Amino acid sequence: MGTYILKRLLAAIPILIGISALVFFSLKLVPGDPLSAITGDAVIGKEEADRLREQYGLNDPLHVQYLRFVGRAIQGDLGRSLQFKRPVIDEIGAQLPATLQLTAAAMVIALTVGLSLGILAAIRPHSLLDALTMSVAMAGVSFPSFWVGLMLLLIFSLALGWLPATGTEGIERLIMPAATLGFGAAAIIARLTRSSLLEVLQQQFIVTARAKGLSFVKVVFRHALRNALIPVVTIVGLQFGNLLAGAVVIETVFSRQGIGRLLVTAILGRDFPLVQGVILFVASVYVIVNLLVDLSYALIDPRIRYA
């Protein structure tokens, strides 16, 4: 187990290096003078420009600039936002709690709804219940999340007046955004749980368990589910990334604070240090979460750590 963890940890390092390189060099593709990323719209003389270029190391070769970028990033320095005139890391720190709260709530909803729908559908395949749950799941993968959010707003805020439409504070402002964001992931989890469980239920050890007289419910929960959930765990890690990225849209729909809205503001304002910082941050979080999922995967399934 120790070797396995170490191997996985080491494998994450080149990926993180690759991510930082991709983010750094692709933003160098942005047309225009990199100096304007520092000065913004201010008009400056040639001498002043040369001095700033020297000061910010823009005359250095690209690989030197990249190494400096990585060195600073490791110490938590992601540069300064042009729009907010503040360190990028402070902006991220200020917006992070709201997004974490949203994605965590969405994940809880996605898991409870997705797993229960998937299990219900699988134990009665081709029944009315199966058809119904799978239609809901189909809607979940087909409906645009921002539209689902707007529909919830229309019904629960504007028509019924039960929930506040916008804002970040309090649980009543979390319910609709989390439900919207969780719906898509719930649908994917439900579909996967159903197909995975159906497959496991056909295997011989299930027949054996039934033959020795165990009840169907016991067989499903004690024997089948354990095996069926392994692919589901993998998808949960991937879904976490999709939830983080999906928060970009949902935060805009509900005018919530968060990293997602920060990113959209940065892109629309062409605030490249901020864009670079947020993307690097979210991608790194995504890699680390998937690493944790991989490790938990080994805990659940001994076949993986001994393979």
**For binding to another protein (CB under 8 A), which residues are involved?**
15, 18-19, 22-23, 26-27, 29-30, 138-139, 141-148, 150-151, 153-154, 158, 188, 191-192, 195-196, 199, 235, 241-242, 244-246, 248-249, 252-253, 263-264, 266-268, 272, 275, 279, 282-283, 286-287, 290
Residue (of 181, 189, 191) closest to 143 by Cα position: 181
By C-beta, is 131 or 299 nearer to another protein?
Answer: 131
**Token pair 């020297």: residue:** 54
Least Å distance between CB 146 and another protein?
Answer: 5
CA separation for the pair 95, 103 (Å, rounded): 13
For the bound state, the minimum distance from the C-beta of residue 50 to another protein, rounded and expressed in Å, comes to 26
Q: Please give the structure tokens belonging to residue 12.
A: 């994450």
Cβ distance to another protein smaller for residue 1 or 288:
288
Sign of the C-alpha dihedral, residues 298, 122, 138, 105? negative
Q: Which is nearer to another protein, 41 or 47 (CB)?
A: 41
Give the nearest distance from C-beta 1 to another protein in angstroms: 24
- In angstroms, give the least distance from the CB of 267 to another protein: 4
- Residue 30: CB atoms within 10 A of its CB come to 13
> Smallest gap, in angstroms, from Cβ of residue 123 to another protein?
17
Least Å distance between CB 246 and another protein? 7
Shortest CB 264 distance to another protein, Å: 5
Nearest to 59 by CA among 93, 82, 35, 77: 35
* Rg of the chain in Å (alpha carbons): 24
Locate all alpha helices (DSSP H) within 28-144, ordered by sequence.
Answer: 36-39, 46-55, 62-74, 88-123, 128-142
Give 174 or 189: the residue with its C-beta nearer to another protein: 189
- d(Cα 307, Cα 304) in Å, to the nearest integer? 5
**141 vs 233, beta carbon nearer another protein:** 141
Nearest residue (CB) to another protein, 98 versus 240 = 240
Judge contact between 217 and 168, C-beta under 8 A. Answer: no
Q: Would you say 229 or 249 has its CB closer to another protein? A: 249
By the 8 A CB rule, do 183 and 207 touch? no
